[in-house]
Amino acid sequence: MNSPHSPGASWFRDLVIYEVYVRAFRDSNGDGIGDLKGLTEKIGYIRDLGVGAVWLLPIFPSPRRDDGYDISDYRGIHPDLGTMDDFRELLDRAHAAGLRVLTDLVLNHTSDQHRWFQSARYGPGHPFHDYYVWSPNPGRYRDARIIFPDFEPSNWTFEPLCNLYYWHRFYHHQPDLNYDNPEVRREMLDVARFWLDMGVDGFRVDAAPYLFEREGTPCEGLPETHAFLRELRGLCDRYQPARLLIAEANQRPSELVKYFGAGDEFHMAFDFPLMPRLFQAVRAEKAQPLEEVLRARPALPAGCQWAMFLRNHDELTLETVSEETRKFLWDELAQDPRARLNMGIRRRLWPLMNGGRRQIELLHGLILSLPGCAVLYYGDEIEMGDDLSLGDRDGVRTAMQWTMGVNAGFSAAPAEKLAVPVVHDAEYHYAGRNVQSFDRRPTSFLNWLRRMVKVHSVDPIFAGGGMRLVPCAHPSILAFTRELGDAAMLCVFNLSRYVQPAVLDLTPWKGRVPVEEIGKAWFPQIGEAPYLFTMGPHSFIWCRLESV
Ligand code: BGC
């Protein structure tokens, strides 16, 4: 990776990103709450994963009714997590270790406890009233869907102080900002500038599609919203090196691609269309869902790419898949009704895959070799489980497991004071799944992942190479090449639980020799005949096609 201070707008092309929930990561002062100093202590651990950036879930003052996505002060640090000096220290230490730091930028809404809304509630004429979207009745913008249908019956909530309804796309305690008001646009660009000036390397822009509303539309991805997002990009481009913008826009491919603009909007967008298909392909043991979504992947403007992920702090959303696929995934992955939330599944990666290491390696192999950046979620590297007894998405946000000691080494506080619980259930107990134990064991998933991230990161073909699907008649085999100049890397995946033959037409590379990328084993030279790989259950292989 480039050092954080080297020039060039594409420093993120070979990035692997590690997502951290600070409150649950490491408590430095024994108050039971993970904090910024605790995260700073662990910078070495994150660097040794081989990742290039750490993305922090919201760290700002907030009543925390949506875990910090309900912000009450955009320019502060939540006192539970530390101080602004702690944040500066984190930035310095991360940068010194060669890691970039990304934060969430929550543009769409504030907390109802934000001073703007507290004043706005008194009605027209009161300061900041026009910072929010009001209506005398809840009938406007009927075409906008409800994003949290398990919790909110409407996108409007009545405010008795002014006898008006206010608009919100998420929880009712998160009023949407009114982007038609130029003051709001200016304020939010100032917020972004504030953090960029401090040295933040980029933003994961939360809920990007919903900034503007227009009657008769779904109020998502409107041209006005894109125009504002381009302004935000313009701001990021004024920094050297340019700062990174990643869109959280849970949209279908044809809509999602608009968030890249003409290369003048987001540098990256989370690949929401791919994510559920990865699980579908593994559970159905079929390559087809992946081939379809990869063929439908729109071409991106230069300098743009996908951010691929398996799991994150939210539910595995199934909003953009067909009803049939949604039912399949619900039946396969969420037999326990408690696992279902809104239009998705609130489980961590390991329980989702019933602890199947081969399947999980396969999934990581995919996001580390398809074009784009891979985003990892804290704890998945140590096979962390979840806690379905907790409400909403809290079950996937439990304490990081560092050791087999007290509170899994997360905190020295008495267990009853922990801000987030530690997973105790027998199957995923922290005594068996923690960094210390996994670190020592060469065969652990943690060490496997470190090796794979390293192999991925040192090879420019994964960062900049194009991709071509290699036809294969076998329904369980997915094969593609990554290509850069004359170099080619063949990637073959067996989605089946059984050994399978992968018979591939490799004649375009006739004369070359496949050399396996990890162990460097040489395979027979490619000739005219179809080429056979014997693939173990849920296995994958990366082979450089060497000219000899
Ligand atoms: C975040 C969620 C949050 C929502 C509302 C999402 O996109 O990822 O965790 O609840 O935005 O802010």
- What pLDDT digit, counting tens, does each position of 434-457 carry? 999 999 999 999 999 999 999 999
Q: In terms of Cα–Cα distance, which of 312, 411, 401 is closest to 38?
A: 411
Q: In terms of Cα–Cα distance, which of 432, 424, 350 is closest to 387?
A: 424
User: 241: cis peptide before it, omega within 30°?
Assistant: yes
Strand 156-159 and strand 164-167: the pairing is: antiparallel
Superfamily assignment of 115-167 in CATH?
A: Oligo-1,6-glucosidase; Domain 2 (3.90.400.10)
Q: How far is the CA of 225 from the centre of ligand 1 (A)?
A: 18
Q: Where are the alpha helices (DSSP H) in 285-356?
A: 288-295, 323-333, 349-352
- Can you tell me the distance from the alpha carbon of 325 to that of 327, in angstroms, rounded to the nearest whole number? 5
Considering the domain 11-108+181-457 in this protein, what is its CATH number? 3.20.20.80
Rounded to two decimals, the pTM is: 0.97
Q: Which residues have a Cβ under 8 Å from the Cβ of 339 and sit 6 or more positions away?
A: 333, 345, 346, 347, 388
Instruction: Give the dihedral of Cα atoms 43, 46, 51, 57; nearest 10 deg.
Output: -80
Q: Which atom of ligand 1 is nearest to the CA of 70?
A: 12
314 lines ligand 1 (CB under 6 A): yes
478 lines ligand 1 (CB under 6 A): no
Q: Is 163 exposed, middle or buried (0-12, 13-18, 19+ CB in 10 A)?
A: exposed
Q: How far is the CA of 542 from the centre of ligand 1 (A)?
A: 35
User: Which residues of the chain are modeled with pLDDT < 50?
Assistant: 1-9
Q: In terms of Cα–Cα distance, which of 152, 236, 165, 142 is closest to 197?
A: 236
* Identity at 315, one-letter amino acid code: E
Q: Which atom of ligand 1 is nearest to the CA of 171?
A: 5
- Can you tell me the distance from the alpha carbon of 194 to that of 203, in angstroms, rounded to the nearest whole number? 12
**Topology annotation, domain 466-546:** Immunoglobulin-like (2.60.40)
Q: In what order do the strands lie in the sheet with 340-341?
A: 316-317, 344-345, 340-341
- Residue 104 annotated to the active site: no
Distances (CA, A) of 49 to 23, 451, 488: 20, 9, 26
- Can you tell me the distance from the alpha carbon of 25 to that of 10, in angstroms, rounded to the nearest whole number? 29
- Can you tell me the distance from the alpha carbon of 163 to that of 122, in angstroms, rounded to the nearest whole number? 9
- Can you tell me the distance from the alpha carbon of 26 to that of 99, in angstroms, rounded to the nearest whole number? 18
DSSP state of 398: -
Atom 2 in ligand 1: which residue has the minimum CA distance? 314
207 lines ligand 1 (CB under 6 A): yes
CB 416 within 8 A of CB 430: no
Q: Is 161 exposed, middle or buried (0-12, 13-18, 19+ CB in 10 A)?
A: exposed
* Identity at 240, one-letter amino acid code: Q
- Can you tell me the distance from the alpha carbon of 331 to that of 267, in angstroms, rounded to the nearest whole number? 35
Q: In terms of Cα–Cα distance, which of 456, 465, 546, 535 is closest to 506?
A: 546
- Residue 10: count of CB within 10 angstroms of its CB: 18
Structure tokens at 422: 């530690």
- Residue 248 annotated to the active site: yes
18 lines ligand 1 (CB under 6 A): no
Q: How far is the CA of 206 from the centre of ligand 1 (A)?
A: 7
70 lines ligand 1 (CB under 6 A): no
Atom 9 in ligand 1: which residue has the minimum CA distance? 314
Annotated catalytic residue, options 19, 159, 206, 271: 206
Name the residue ranges covered by the structural domains of the chain. Answer: 11-108+181-457, 115-167, 466-546
Q: Which atom of ligand 1 is nearest to the CA of 312?
A: 8
14 lines ligand 1 (CB under 6 A): no
Q: Which atom of ligand 1 is nearest to the CA of 170?
A: 5
Mutate to test the pocket of ligand 1, among 57, 62, 66, 108 (most ligand atoms within 8 A of CB): 66
Structure tokens at 228: 């504002």
Q: How far is the CA of 314 from the centre of ligand 1 (A)?
A: 7
Q: How far is the CA of 70 from the centre of ligand 1 (A)?
A: 9
- Can you tell me the distance from the alpha carbon of 407 to that of 421, in angstroms, rounded to the nearest whole number? 8
Predicted local confidence at residue 425, as pLDDT: 94
Distances (CA, A) of 260 to 215, 248, 250, 323: 25, 12, 14, 28
Annotated catalytic residue, options 213, 248, 383, 387: 248
How many residues does this entry show for the chain? 548
Strand partners, 544: 489, 515
69 lines ligand 1 (CB under 6 A): yes
Strand 540-546 and strand 487-494: the pairing is: antiparallel
